Amino acid sequence: MVFFRSVTALSKLRSRLGQQSSLRDSVRWIQTQSSTDLELRSQLAELIPEQQERLKKLKADYGKVQLGNITVDMVIGGMRGMTGLLWETSLLDPDEGIRFRGLSIPECQKVLPAAKPGGEPLPEGLLWLLLTGKVPSKEQVDALSKELRTRAVVPDYVYKAIDALPITAHPMTQFTTGVMALQVESEFQKAYEKGIHKSKYWEPTFEDSLSLIARVPVVAAYIYRRIFKDGKVKQIDDSLDYGANFSHMLGFDDPKVYELMRLYVTIHSDHEGGNVSAHTGHLVASALSDPYLSFAAALNGLAGPLHGLANQEVLLWIKSVVDEVGENATTQQLKDYVWQTLKSGKVKPLTFT
């Protein structure tokens, strides 16, 4: 099973990191939360007005500054190479990998709260870091974890909407259907229909986003169990955190897999703004579509074979390599098979998205 092979890889990663003594002194300075306030919403209520003013000043002072030249290739290539978004939460570097608010993955492992001493960072901690730019305390992370558990209630009609699809429907089709079914409870849509000042858009957006984040693992786990297990909903365990609960609902209750899932969800929580799914979500939200609609659109972008579906496609391609040339293929055989794939007009799947 992929999960358990990944556990071994995780252990090796941590072993290598432990050998890097210089890591202890390499963490960049970043503000650590000193506030005793445990609510993420109240933290944002302080920060967002400041950011709104900051953006106004940025536009006033630099609104006419050119960021580069646009070529025909860029236009035909789907905006490739264009600077088109302001994205502060993460930066993907081709050499050193991704950074979240300036912190690398090993640095996040060092400074973010964990479920146990020396353990993997809790995804709730990275969510706090992404939204506030500050490293939270363990108490703040625990409070956020508890709030997410209370929000993780999925109405029966969501399961019925998914069940209306054939069990053979692709998991991403089922996933998008589940998210769209959740949309009928959108707080943003209700607030907009009643009338709300645009400076307050963030409040119902926050409510929708946090509820969506809480419910997504429940929906995803149900789809997995519908296709591969008994098709029954496995309830959340109130004693577990976000990542561990996802593993639990999938049916994996090994503590090592809990740790794997905490790290897996943490490092996949943000992926810069220029990829298909993140850009799509940003674009759809710009029309004042609520977070459910925007996230569903992003999922549909993610489902494409040149984006998230590449993870599936590469496994199928590797299987075809094994079927064609065997498990002990030579370098030349692999090169020949790659060229055979390309010359057939197919895209060689990538192992990253």
Burial class, 337, CB count within 10 angstroms (exposed 0-12 / middle 13-18 / buried 19+): middle
Kind plus residue range of the DSSP H or E element containing 123 = helix 123-132
Q: Are 346 and 353 in contact (CB under 8 A)?
A: no
- Between 10 and 106, where is the model more confident? 106
Phi, psi of 100 (to 5 degrees): -105, 115
Going from the N-terminus, what domains does the chain have, and what CATH number goes with each? 153-235+271-302 (1.10.580.10), 305-353 (no CATH)
Per DSSP, the three-state class of 103 is: strand
Contact 171, 224 (CB under 8 A): yes
Strand-strand pairing, 90-93 and 103-104? unpaired
| 99 touches 26 (CB < 8 A) | no
Flag whether pLDDT at 42 surpasses 70.
yes
User: What integer pLDDT is reported at residue 94 of this predicted model?
Assistant: 78
Summarize pLDDT for 187-235 with one digit per residue, the tens: 999 999 999 999 999 999 999 999 999 999 999 999 999 999 999 999 9
Residues in the chain: 353
- How far apart (Å, rounded) are the C-alpha atoms in residues 6 and 186? 36
The pLDDT of 141-166, averaged and rounded, is 97
CA distances from 151 to 214, 242, 314 (A): 6, 12, 35
What is the DSSP pairing of strand 97-100 with strand 103-104?
antiparallel
Higher pLDDT, 306 or 248: 248
The confidence band for 313, taking pLDDT boundaries of 50, 70 and 90, is: confident
Of the pLDDT bands very low, low, confident and very high (cuts 50, 70, 90), residue 352 is very low
What does residue 326 show for φ and ψ, rounded to 5 degrees?
90, 170
pLDDT tier at 26 (50, 70, 90 boundaries)? very low
Confidence class of residue 347 from pLDDT cuts 50, 70 and 90? Answer: low
